[in-house]
Structure 1
Amino acid sequence: MEGEKFDFIVFGASGFTGQYTVDEVARVAEEEKLTWAVAGRSMQKLQTVLNEASARTGKNLENIPIIIADSSNPSSLEEMAKQGRVVLNCVGPYRFYGEPVVKACIEAGTHHLDISGEPQYLEKMQLLYNAKAKENNVLVIGATGFDSIPAETGILYTQKQFKDGEMTNIESFVTTNSGPEGFTVNTGTFESAVHGFAHMKELKPLRKSLFPDPLPKYEYRLPKRKTIFYSKEVNKWCVPFPGSDKSVVHRTVRDLLATGRIKKPIEFSPYFCVDSLLQVVGLVIFLAIFGLFASFSLGRSLLLKYPHVFSLGLFKKGGPTKKQIEGCSFSMTFVGYGYDKPESERSGTKPNKTVITKVTGPEPGYVTTPICMTQVGVTLLKEQDKIPHKGGVVTAGAALWNTSIIDRLEKHNIHFSTVSVTDSSDTSK
């Protein structure tokens, strides 16, 4: 029976991100010799997606199987999950639609990947389903798109540059670059953010239940940045990154410590960067207004009804055009601090080595995200012997730390580079 299962099932294939995921899976499945299917509520829409994907990719997809499944119908989800080895779940917001798919996959013994950036959902799934997923040898991995995969793999890549030493702290600086056509984002992302802000109070008790024991003390803490600051590392104005990166990496660090792959916790601080002070002030004002409106019912209704108004056109139904996507890219700069020798051989208290690296790639939401999700899935299928977890609700960083995920991303237009390596005895760099 196992050999008859599809390697991938793209659930929510007719959604905005799902369509781009179908394109990417079509390309990768051919090169990796994988079998796959699409799933969703409407046969007609799914057939249209396959026809359009055929035209975009030049692949003949007329024989790709279609599975009818609905998030509101648990039995249909379980029937879908039984037919695959890995479900790529593109149906959000995951707060509302994610849990039934996770549950169905665990019951069916099928691995589950999603592209959520919703900390409450991600951590709730770990709290509720980690034990059952372990028991059934099912891996449930959330946040497998942009921006968490570039963040997690960027940290891994930077850590590798310390070689025999040890990285203790790392900062990331995210920049998105839009082309002459500008850029817009589909409203699904905005909707997830609205509900995430509205329910932030859930996180504290959730984390207390999930992580009753505090992390060991950091060996060294970086000086705290101001809310708005100018970074010489990237020559841009920066604010704390409002996404889920920090919480995802925190879970990864806990797992790496528990499995002995690192000896001490790594401090991680993510930032979002823009070119001018005026832009960063505007961003802070937007986040303040957004947070205020998301905190009460009427405000949330207005945000969800008029996303293009509150975001000054950034978020709108239908998302970006093809030209906008083609003109957009991202860059993440990582500044890692640590030591050039193992603990037994070093002296002094402050880190004496700094490594600056960069991860770059195409448009983040609808090109990079399907690339990342698909390559996490391929790695999961091809390198199970390198993954210490046979089951459980884990992060991609925790599962793929010792795999070739960076090499796989490199082959698919996500690029890693070392900008500089400096230690206290090297004054020439």
Structure 2
Amino acid sequence: MAKPIFSTPDLTTFCRLDTLDLTCIGQHITGHKAILECRPNTTDNWCRRCGGHGIVRDTVVRRLAHEPFGHRPTTLHIRLRRYKCVECGRVWRQDTTAAAPPRAKISRTGLDWALRALVIDHDTVSVIASKLAVSWHTANSAILAEGRRLLINDPTRFDGASVIGVDEHVWRHTRRGDKYVTVIIDLTPISQATGPARLLDMMPGRSKQVFKQWLKARPKDWRDGIDVVAMDGFSGFKTASVEELPDAVEVMDPFHVVKLAGDALDDVRRRIQQETTGHRGRAKDPLYRARRTLHTGADLLTTKQQESIAGLFADSSFTEVEVTWAVYQDIVNAYRTADRNEGKKLLRTVIDALATNLPTGLVELKRLGRTLKRRAADVLAFFTRPGTSNGPTEAINGRLEHLRGSALGFRNITHYIARCLLESGGFRPVLHSQLR
């Protein structure tokens, strides 16, 4: 602002107390906290039972945590008059529902700030509770309840989805209970190049029935609007999608196809390692030293790495590794080909070659060939559906891993799902438009 227009300082406006129907009448500020004394703007001196007039009986103070100012926890001390009806004897106090719901410990503005800090700034609940000067449980319960009311329970948040991704996610690394959840991602913004992917929903467990029941619970017109479902090689997700979304196209994304080929390469490398040395890989073993280089695209290898690979395959004992490596490189090159039709043709050639006339000893390639042959339609569908990949799903899984690390783990899966939705549900634009 080049030429600002100044007005008389007003603590009520500065601290956004006017939105709570309060007026600031005093302050107490130290280096560690700030207390603002307030009074309601409404008198409310009539009885709602009989309509009689009320006389002032006494004054009480309601304390509310408020959004922090100057890195100090700010508390509102609201001085409330209590009235007694001269007709029926009923006692009541001034209404403060504009400032906070009944029995709440955080003001509405403070709760808006807390939800914004969690969703937009990615603060932990512990940090938010410290800035509000309330307990962790008070902050967590209030934020999750407001997040569900304002964001998660919004029925329109599923609207506009036409491309979705499904994957599994490990929500805890303990032996007690089910450690997996099924994650549903909206990939429509990626396919339309309008923005990042967003987390749609999570369900406990990983099975065909979990995904099937979730799809069945969605409205029919929503299911009819789904064109593509991106997934990994798990057949349960495939079957559930076929049964509940008969018009959708299932796509096995490049990430998991390349991973299957990479796993086959690792398996044959370990097997040959055992057969030639009698032990697992050690630092000086040539196969072990080349384990990462083998997973690098051939066009990205340095001159030194190319010489290393050539020297490795000069040993006839490693022929099976060389053949598997060549197949892995062919699959990678098919996805890297600029012309999608050419890439589809290359990958189809690889799948057909793996399905026929493989030597008996190449057990890893035979297993890979059976998988790719069975899911050939889903694998090749990627080339006719540009922008369809479960890569953004894996990216969101990584963000959820970070969330779990920041929170030092979760014990309650309901809270975990709610926190994940607030973390990665794409609610930032909603917050900017809806919150005060």
Q: What's the TM-score once normalised by structure 1's chain length?
A: 0.23
Q: Which has the larger radius of gyration?
A: 2
Q: What's the TM-score once normalised by structure 2's chain length?
A: 0.23
